[in-house]
A = this chain, B = another copy of it.
Amino acid sequence: MRVGVLTGGGDCPGLNAVIRAVVRKGVKTHGFEFVGYRDGWKGPLEGITMELGIEQCRGILPRGGTILGSSRTNPFKIDGGVERIQENLAKDGVDALVAIGGEDTLGVATKLADLGVDVVGVPKTIDNDLSGTDFTFGFDTAVNIATEAIDRLHTTAESHHRVLVVEVMGRHAGWIALHSGLAGGANIVLIPEQPFDIEEVCSLVESRFESRYSPILVVSEGAIPKEGGDMTLVSQELDAFGHVRLGGIGDRIAKEIEDRTGKEARAVVLGHIQRGGTPTAFDRWLATRFGLAAIDAVATKNFGTMMALRGTKIEQVPLIEGTGELKLVSPEEYAEAQVFFG
């Protein structure tokens, strides 16, 4: 049996661990051969392959990124894209495909499965917002990096009696903000699921200062103000080039707090350091077990499935479970954390 492997979407610590586990168990237990497709769906679309065997997977376990490269190419948005993929898989003698990726990548996999391609999916999102699995790999690494940053910022906040706003990843879901905010002892956590009232935020900031402590806010990049809420345009600073200097939601909230409370506020945007570099032990373990289960699914021809963590077990669930709906922070989970805020 010949198995193709590809990784799609934004990079995520643990991708290489999945690839290594898929290949190693595929070769040693099942006697499979492998074809590495480069740069996500672009690989099978354009027929760009690389050699993929146990040798290529040596030493990659602790490395971030993906040795296969990645892209956001979507064959369904390209004329004749699906047909070209099917042709290339046939040409390469590929019997089954392991697709490692997030909502988009697995969405393509789901549609290809419907068209008869033998595909198995491994869920990947740093944001942890895929349904059907307790956790996705990469998330634990991101949360640890954000938590370490918050740990570091506490002393700066205290020493300067200053508000610090930490912007973390999470466009639609607040998991990274909620977990790192809880773990880092943040005083306010703002997430996309719960639009915020800037006036409430400012009174929390002020009450925190009254108790002699400096507040730290953790904010998802996708956090939004309540409709009708008064988050007006702040006075626009100019930088050395005479340009407006204004960033994303973190910068905006910091500016609003300064304007409204008179307290110095600074934003730190963690950005890509949350998704690069070596994975935590948890992410390596989870990614490895996803990979082992994925190649077992191929061997048992349980196609159209996606690997999922349920408790401490890896289960093979229908692909549609992962791509159907985003997993969001529930009001109860957000409420649970409130006792630490303010």
The residues of A with any CB-CB pair to B shorter than 8 Å are: 10-11, 15, 21, 24-25, 28-29, 58, 61-66, 69-71, 134-135, 140, 143-149, 151-156, 158-161, 164, 179-180, 182-185, 213, 224, 231, 233, 236, 239-241, 243-249, 251-252, 266-269, 271-273, 275-278, 280-282, 284-285, 288-289, 292, 310-312, 336, 339-340
Contacts and interface: CB of A to CB of B under 8 A. Distances in A.
B252 A224 contact: no
A243 B251 CA distance: 12
A267 B339 CA distance: 35
Contacts of A69: 158-161
A256 to B, nearest CB: 11
B151 A277 contact: yes
Nearest to A243: B246
B182 A285 contact: yes
A140 B312 CA distance: 14
A231 B239 CA distance: 14
B62 A151 contact: yes
Which of A29, A248, A275, A277 has the most chain B CB within a 10 Å cutoff?
A277
Contact of A65 (B156, B243, B277, B281): B156
A183 to B, nearest CB: 4
A241 B223 CA distance: 12
Given A69-B159, A71-B160, A135-B312, 13 more contacts: A10-B160, A143-B285, A148-B277, A151-B278, A152-B272, A152-B276, A179-B285, A183-B285, A231-B241, A247-B251, A267-B271, A268-B271, A311-B311
A245 to B, nearest CB: 6
A156 B276 contact: yes
A288 B246 CA distance: 36
Nearest to A286: B183
Contacts of A292: 336, 339
Contacts of A245: 246-248
A145 B282 CA distance: 12
Contacts of A160: 10-11, 69-71
Contacts of A251: 247
A233 B243 contact: yes
B244 A248 contact: no
A339 B183 contact: no
Contacts of A244: 236, 243-244, 246
Contact of A182 (B145, B271, B288): B288
A329 to B, nearest CB: 11
A249 to B, nearest CB: 8
A144 B141 CA distance: 11
Contact of A155 (B155, B247, B277, B281): B277
Contacts of A156: 11, 64-65, 272, 275-276
A160 B10 CA distance: 8
A134 B248 CA distance: 38
Contacts of A134: 311-312
A249 B240 CA distance: 9
Nearest to A58: B213
B273 A268 contact: yes
